[in-house]
Structure 1
Amino acid sequence: MARSPLPSALDAVLERFTFMVLDGALATELERIGFELNDALWSARLLREAPETITRVHRAWFEAGADCAITASYQASLEGFRRHGVSEQQALRLIRRSVALARRARDDFRRAHADDCRPRPLVAASVGPYGAALADGSEYRGDYTDDERTLQAFHRPRLAALMSERPDLLAIETLPSLGEARALSRLLPEFPGARAWVSFTTRDARHISDGTPIRDCAALLAECPQVVAIGVNCTAPHHVGELIGEIRAVSDRPVIVYPNAGEHYDPHQGGWQPQATPPAGTSPFGELARQWQAAGAAIIGGCCRTTPEDIRAIAAQRRRLR
């Protein structure tokens, strides 16, 4: 049976604004300014090597119009860092640092824009799936373990490290399987202060990556009061409108959508297949945000390969809707 969500930092934003604007692709921006991230740690490697750059990119997303920064902890795990020769204690420090860097960017932005009528920006600590640590693209397939104890043992120390820095939210994102969503929803009560959104990767407009209907996922998560929003990310934009309807059919939680730019990820080659790009200075995400908000989305942003131009277009659309 669905249970009402607990109060969260989302409430103050969604009470005042038509929707909340998320940031875009952190790793895409890091690559654009010259970092090579094609390894198993992805952007998490820069938590150790270039933390100030991560802060600078978070700040750029706020400047583009984002109300919420998602931390660079998506690929950060004890196992992943261990394979790169990082001790457990140092790995935990780096995971905690991801929240501190985003918070610093948020606080610097607020000081510079004290009179801005935008919402108080939030920090969401990214919790990527078990498949992300495997670094084989399986977060887009979900073909790994559904053993609840294994999944919870993987996620527990990272959740503890992230929550110790008191993020506004947990961004449990890019989940490809119902089993992992269930394991995490049963783990959240160990962290009573946690409020999380949960978002899935999908194979089409009705099913997540492992083939489970998105309705089943939303219905399951609506039973967890610490889950305060449900949605999809790193999904093809043309699926999003129908996915919003599927989620809303079984849940009254705010719907969160932050799809990729429309490219297809090839896990075998380890890269994104190119697509036609819009003319410079334009973005389809403004019109898409209008459509998604009309369909019922309450939180809208971008995932892989999206740019500050896309987030500016989404933020401009919200200003028009107000």
Structure 2
Amino acid sequence: MVTTSLTGKATKASSVGTSSNVIILDGGLGRELEKVGAPFRQPEWSALSLIEAPDLVAQVHQNFVDAGAKIITTNTYALVPFHIGQKQFDEQAFSLAERAATIASNMAKKRDVSVAGCIPPAFGSYKPELFCAEKLAAILRPLIEAQTPYIDFWLVETVSSVEEAIAVTSLIKKHSSKPIWLSYSLSNRHDFSNPVTLRSSEPLNAILPTLENLDAVLFNCSQPEEMEAAITFTHSHNADIPIGVYANSFSEHVRKHDANEMLSTLREDVTPEKYLAYAQTWVNAGASIVGGCCGIGPAHIKVLAQGFVNTLE
């Protein structure tokens, strides 16, 4: 278990460009579940396998651990009304979140890795305009309470706005004392001379005050090309907080549909070797936590684990 990174601040690479202390996360659970034959469709996404085939959820966790991941993430990303509907959420959210956390915890005990408790976007990915602070607790509190006994720290995923980051962090702190890693999602720039922004179009300097309440800040579920600029900016303004990255391999620049509407196509050019090359630029820019999001599978994680020497066991 990477306990040195979870009892307080995550261990930071000693200097920019140093890779000996890079922590390897797992990859995207949803597409790997689909790959191993789990039931998989929209709108339920990865929640369907948790409901109908929990043994395959365990298999996917094992696949990522076998590949070299030191942290596995609970399969709770789609356990919100946006994906499973209000009725099923009201009846089963707590029990399903507890099931997901138990599966991950059992795997972690067998393989001596750590568990990140996933806190998903409560109102759908890439949907900052749907965020409603007044409704947040009703959705996320069951997920927090169900997972707390089984996880090592929280991973708040695909945060699209500063308002969302502040509200979710505050809610977690009311119900848990465990460390919080929070991951922002970035807009996709067609013109890379433009500054990188959040999905809400807020500039990155808007996130700086939120870092004071986090144990690590990450960037996820965005194109690999977006990440280096975000790391460089964040590291230049706060060299103490650990920075992480886990990009997706969606063909976002050609995607015509909204997120969550249907399965997005994946980029063929984001091979494991290419992903490692991206990751090396991220570490050089100041990242010390690297993994994968949608479309990044065990083959990618294996190459990352082989490419970066882990000394945190």
TM over 0.5: same fold? yes
CA positional deviation for 1:15: 7.6
CA positional deviation for 1:103: 1.3
Say if 1:208 and 1:46 are closer, same or farther in 2 by CA, change over 3 A.
same
Say if 1:23 and 1:157 are closer, same or farther in 2 by CA, change over 3 A.
same
2:139 maps to amino acid: F
Q: Does 1:255 align with 2:239?
A: no
Counterpart in 1 of 2:99? Answer: 97
Counterpart in 1 of 2:56? Answer: 53
Q: CA RMSD in A?
A: 2.7
Matches within 5 A, 1:31-180: 31-77=34-80, 81=84, 83=86, 85=88, 88=91, 90-110=92-112, 121-132=113-124, 139-145=125-131, 147-163=132-148, 165-180=149-164
Counterpart in 1 of 2:287? Answer: 297
Q: Does 1:284 align with 2:269?
A: no
- Residues 172-231 of structure 1 show CA distances to partners (whole Å, capped at 9, x for unaligned) of 0011122111111221321242211111111145211011112211x132231xx21112
CA positional deviation for 1:320: 9.2
- TM-score, L = length of structure 1: 0.82
Query: Relative contact order, CA 8 A, sep 6+: which one is greater?
Result: 2
Q: Distance in 1 between matches of 2:130 and 2:106?
A: 36
Q: Does 1:200 align with 2:189?
A: no
Say if 1:109 and 1:283 are closer, same or farther in 2 by CA, change over 3 A.
same
Query: Percent same amino acid among aligned pairs?
Result: 25
1:154 maps to amino acid: I
Counterpart in 2 of 1:215? Answer: 205
Counterpart in 1 of 2:262? Answer: 270
Q: Does 1:187 align with 2:171?
A: yes
Q: Distance in 1 between matches of 2:147 and 2:199?
A: 26
Other structure's SS at 2:6 match: coil
Q: Distance in 2 between matches of 1:131 and 1:65?
A: 32
Contact map agreement 1:237 1:262 (CA 8 A) in 2: no
Counterpart in 1 of 2:27? Answer: 24
**Unpaired runs of 5+ in structure 2?**
15-19, 189-194
Aligned length: 293
CA positional deviation for 1:77: 3.0
Q: Distance in 2 between matches of 1:277 and 1:83?
A: 38
Contact map agreement 2:47 2:79 (CA 8 A) in 1: yes
Q: Distance in 2 between matches of 1:315 and 1:9?
A: 23
Say if 1:320 and 1:47 are closer, same or farther in 2 by CA, change over 3 A.
closer
1:220 maps to amino acid: P
Q: Distance in 2 between matches of 1:321 and 1:221?
A: 29
Q: Distance in 2 between matches of 1:82 and 1:278?
A: 33
1:62 maps to amino acid: V
CA positional deviation for 1:148: 2.4
1:263 maps to amino acid: S
Q: Does 1:316 align with 2:306?
A: yes
Contact map agreement 2:33 2:49 (CA 8 A) in 1: no
Say if 1:81 and 1:57 are closer, same or farther in 2 by CA, change over 3 A.
same
CA positional deviation for 1:108: 2.1
Say if 1:128 and 1:285 are closer, same or farther in 2 by CA, change over 3 A.
same
Say if 1:12 and 1:275 are closer, same or farther in 2 by CA, change over 3 A.
closer
Q: Distance in 2 between matches of 1:61 and 1:319?
A: 17
1:155 maps to amino acid: L
- Residues 253-302 of structure 1 show CA distances to partners (whole Å, capped at 9, x for unaligned) of 101100002522532752213433467xx521222222111110010001
Contact map agreement 1:56 1:105 (CA 8 A) in 2: no
Q: Distance in 2 between matches of 1:189 and 1:18?
A: 28
Q: Between 187-196 and 167-176, report the one with greater CA deviation.
A: 187-196
- TM-score, L = length of structure 2: 0.84
**Unpaired runs of 5+ in structure 1?**
1-6, 111-120, 133-138
Counterpart in 1 of 2:233? Answer: 246
Q: Distance in 1 between matches of 2:265 and 2:123?
A: 21
